[in-house]
Amino acid sequence: MQESNPSNLRRVTDAGKQANLSDQAHTTLLDRLRDGRLRSGTFLSMPMLVEQLKFPIAAVREAVKRAEAAGLLTILPKRGVAVMDAGPEITRACLELRAMFDCEGARRIIALRGGFPLSDLREAHQQLLAEARAHPVADLQSRAIRTDLSLHDALARGLCSPLAERLYAENRDRIAVIQNTRPFVPDRIAPAMEEHLAILEAIEARDHVRADAAIRHHLRATLRWWGL
């Protein structure tokens, strides 16, 4: 039996460690983008980003390449990186893309007749709607975002396509950057929950035409609230 070459084993081990560090750096970078610590339009040199993420520069470079491929960052050669623009054009494009995923997800969920957490989603939306009507205050904002995303995420799972779900997840991250620039104002919470409940009612009725119309109405209302 041929003995393993120690140098080859070391190279494989080192490559595995580097890949693991790159994955961790990418996850940390996404967390910073999602929670608003890296906001739209922010410019950072690579040393600044390394300091932010607390990972070796090689791992950070790989993380940045992946984030750029998803449209979250732009690499500026010999200068650094810029976080994606959250202007009107990209905002409209991202929301319209999400609506396309939502419509197809709803259609498939209705056709398959199962595997959709309708009751849980409805209960969460109704509870938040009641609170928003009674006390439309800013401290509901984080819950509103989570509740809002819960429906869109559930519709995306209905696509039953790993590729489509990956594309949805990338777009979800872009929308997170946008939401940090265009916050979920208190007066928008109740109407948004009502729009979501209309989508859920259409799914419960197994009416994909009605679900499509409710999703498109939610898109138009969101764009209008954001001045688009």
- Integer Cα distance of 60 and 22 in angstroms: 7
Structure confidence by residue, pLDDT tens digits, 1-28: 445 565 544 454 555 565 689 999 999 9
Query: Under 8 Å CB-to-CB from 37, ≥6 apart: which residues?
Result: 52
Please give the backbone phi and psi of residue 82, each rounded to the nearest 5 degrees, phi first.
-125, 135
Cα 13 to chain centroid distance, Å, stands at 33
What pLDDT is stored for residue 180 in this prediction?
87
pLDDT of residue 19: 67
pTM of the model: 0.84
pLDDT in tens, 128-165: 999 998 876 667 888 888 999 999 999 999 998 999 99
Helices (H), 71-207: 88-112, 118-134, 141-157, 162-181, 186-204
What per-residue confidence (pLDDT) applies to 1?
47
Tens of pLDDT, residue by residue, the chain (228 residues): 445 565 544 454 555 565 689 999 999 999 999 988 999 999 999 999 999 999 999 999 999 999 999 999 999 998 999 999 999 999 999 999 999 999 999 999 999 877 799 999 999 999 999 999 887 666 788 888 899 999 999 999 999 899 999 999 999 999 999 988 876 677 889 999 999 999 999 999 999 999 999 999 999 999 998 888
Identify the structural domains of the chain with CATH numbers, from first to last: 6-83 (1.10.10.10), 88-225 (1.20.120.530)
